Amino acid sequence: MNILVCVKQVPDTTEIKIDPITRTLIREGVPSIVNTFDAYALEMAVRMKEAYGGKVTVISMGPQQARKALQTCIASGADQAYLLSDRSFGGSDTLATSYILAVSIGAIERRCNEKFDLIFCGKQAIDGDTGQVGPELAERLDYPQITYVSDVSIENGIIKAKRENDEGYDFITATLPAVITTVKTRYDLRLPSIKSIAASLKADIPTLTAADMDIDKEQCGLNGSPTKVVKTYTPVREKNGIMIKEETAAESAQKLLDMLADAKIM
C-alpha cells in the first residue's frame, strides 16, 4: 500500500486570542502545529501501513517553516516527506491549492516511479475551515473520494471506510486509488519517541518548487484563485447578560424561570 498524506501547518486556533481594543487576531506567540485533522489522517495512514505493509509519504504546501510540520510527521511514522514551496504558490485558494497538490503528486509519482494507492487529507484545516481541498484534489486526479471518515480497512483491493452522516455512519467502499478525508479517529495519536524525533531532524526533506514540476503558474496563487477575500473582521458576540447567583440552587432556578416568564421567553 503506497499511501500519501497531505498536511498543512496551521496556527493553533484554539490558542488564538482577539485583541479587545483593535479587535484583530493576536497571532504572536501562537504555536504552529500540524493541522489537527491532518494528524488524524497521518495516524490512520500509518496504521494502514502497519496492517497491510507499504510506505507513507507526506506532502505539505507552504513556506520553509512548514518543514517543521513535516519533521513532526516523520517522527510520527511517515517514511518520506516533501515540501511544496514556491513564491507563486502563495495566496492560493482551495481551487489553486488542489491544482498545485495534484501537479506535485504527479511529479512525485514520476520521481519515485510509483503511483499512490490512497491519498489522505484531514477533513478541513482548522484555520481556513473550508474542507474543500480534499474533494477538489480528488476531482483534479479523477479519483473517487470518501469524506468525513473515522476508520478504514482494505478488503480484496477495495477500501472500506466508515463515513459520518447526520444520524450515525455509513460503510462505503471505493475502488483504488482514492482520496479519503478524515475526522477525529477513535484511537489516539501516537507520541513520537525521543529516538524518532532525533531521526526526523536528520531526515532528508526535499523541497519541490514550480521549476521541479510541469506547472502552469497562471493556475497557482492569487492568479489561479477564483475566490477573493475582500474583508475580514472579528465577530462581536458579547452580550451584557444577567448573572444569577442566589443563596440556593432552588432560588436561582426559580429566579431564572421568573425572569424568562417576565420576558415572555418561556
Partner 1 sequence: MMDSQRNTKNLWVVIETEHGKAKHVGFELLNPGRKLADEMGESLVAVVIGCGVEKAANNAIALGADEVILIEGEEYYNYNTDCVSFALEQVIRKYGPITILIGATNNGRDYAPRVACRLRTGLTADCTDLSIDEDTGKMAWTRPAFGGNLMATILCPNTTPQMGTVRPGVFKKAVPDPERKGKIVREDIHLDPALVRTRIMETVKEVAAAVNLEEAEIIVSGGRGLGDPANFSYIRELADELGATVGSSRAAVDAGWIPHAHQVGQTGKTVAPKIYIACGISGAIQHLAGMSGSETIIAINTDPEAPIFKVADYGIIGDYKEIIPELLKAVRSRKETL
Please give the Cα distance from 93 to 251 (Å, whole number).
Answer: 54
- Interface positions, 186-205, toward partner 1 (CB under 8 A): 186
Residue 60 or residue 145: which is nearer to partner 1 going by CB? 145
- By CB under 8 A, what part of segment 233-262 binds partner 1? 233-235, 237-239, 241-245, 248-250, 252-254, 256-257, 259-261
Angle made by CA atoms 146, 61, 131, in degrees to the nearest 5: 35
Cell of 208: 519541490
Distance CA 73, CA 57 (A): 9
Pick out residues in 44-103 that bind partner 1 (CB under 8 A).
93-95, 98
**Pattern of binders to partner 1 over 7-36, x per CB under 8 A?**
----x-xx-x-x------x-----------
Comparison of 91 and 144: residue with beta carbon closer to partner 1: 144
**Binding to partner 1 in span 96-115, by CB under 8 A:** 98
Output the CA–CA distances (angstroms, integers) from residue 245 to 22, 219, 249, 256, in the order listed: 33, 59, 8, 10
Pairing of strands 80-84, 55-61: parallel
- With CA atoms as reference, report the closest residue to 120 among 213, 1, 220: 1
Amino acid sitting at position 162 = K
Q: Is 222 in the site for partner 1 (CB under 8 A)?
A: no
- Interface mask toward partner 1 for 122-161; x: CB under 8 A: --x-xxxxxxxxxxx-xxx---xxxxx-----------x-
